[in-house]
Amino acid sequence: PPVPIAPPQLTAVGATYLWIQLNANSINGDGPIIDREVEYRTMAGMLIDTTPVDKPTHKVGHLDPDTEYEISVLLTRPLEGGTGNPGPPLRARTKCADRLPAGG
């Protein structure tokens, strides 16, 4: 089954979201890739969610402010045993929610 070689790339950060680029073009294993999913969890280890993705970039939303997350990409090919292991994880922290702009 296919496994991404590189972790996703962080493209934007907010208090409750992380925008990532899947970075899933280089793989180990066999294609063709028919499904992509993003798996994410807090660094505390609690599994949060796996979300199907159909674009090269994805907004992981509804996150907790000032929390570190681990985000991996799962790839699926047709036929039996089609979903590979999660690729290398991206570690990213959401922003603090209580920071106001200067002068405000």
pLDDT tens, position by position, 48-99: 789 999 999 999 999 999 999 999 999 999 988 899 999 999 999 999 987 5
Residue 73: in which H helix or E strand, if any?
Answer: strand 68-76
The pTM of the full predicted model, rounded to 2 decimals, is: 0.88
Report which of 9, 91, 20 is spatially closest to residue 60, judged by C-alpha positions: 20
- Least confident among 13-17, 25-29, 94-98: 94-98
Q: Which two tokens stand for residue 74?
A: 């799962």
Determine contact, residues 21/57, Cβ cutoff 8 Å: yes
pLDDT range class, residue 39, cuts 50, 70, 90: very high
pLDDT of residue 9: 97
pLDDT of residue 77: 95
